[in-house]
Amino acid sequence: MSPIKTKQRRLKLGNTPKTGVRTQFGALCWRVKDDKLQVLLIKSRNRKRWIIPKGWPMHKATPAEAAATEAWEEAGVKGTPSEVCLGIYSYKKLRSPDTTPMPCVVAVFPLQVAEMLDNFPEKGQRKRKWMSPQKAASRVPFPELAQIIRKFDPRGL
């Protein structure tokens, strides 16, 4: 299956009520080192699970741009995002132990990492680790995300 390439539009966010399923944008950060593909995972802040950087839509940013911003804030990486959505996965976001989990869907965009910085906004809150796609797929807690990682091939971008 080849990815569908379409031109993204910058989002205009209003003040609509935030109920029901919420959308997030995630970055599958990748590089080639010693001729081997690697992907970057980070630890979630509360539950300490291996995940990809992700976050909410941003006003006047495309989904891929929002994913790239999250990659910088959460993992300290900068690079070139692709506007090709690799896939979508779902999860339930826990805001606090005494609230109902919020259902979220995450659209995943690849980001080829050009720079990895030591100082970034969430440095003290996250661990980050490069690993093979197979190992990364075995570490993430979401089967749909694991499949996206396992099947990722940057040559198709």
- Does 17 fall in a domain? no
> What's the pLDDT score for residue 1?
44
Q: CATH no. for residue 31?
A: 3.90.79.10
Number of domains observed in the structure of the chain: 1
Residues 82, 157 contacting (CB under 8 angstroms): yes
Domain-located, residue 6: no
- Tell me the C-alpha distance between 115 and 37, whole Å: 16
**Global pTM exceeds 0.85:** yes
Question: Is there a domain that residue 15 lies in?
Answer: no
**4-44 tens-digit pLDDT:** 555 656 656 555 556 678 999 999 999 999 999 999 999 99
The answer to whether position 64 is within a domain reads: yes
Are the C-beta atoms of residues 40 and 113 closer than 8 Å to each other? yes
Residue 16 lies in a domain: no
Residue 142 belongs to what domain range?
22-156
Classify residue 148: in a domain, yes or no: yes
Q: Which residues contact 19 (CB under 8 A, 6 or more apart)?
A: none
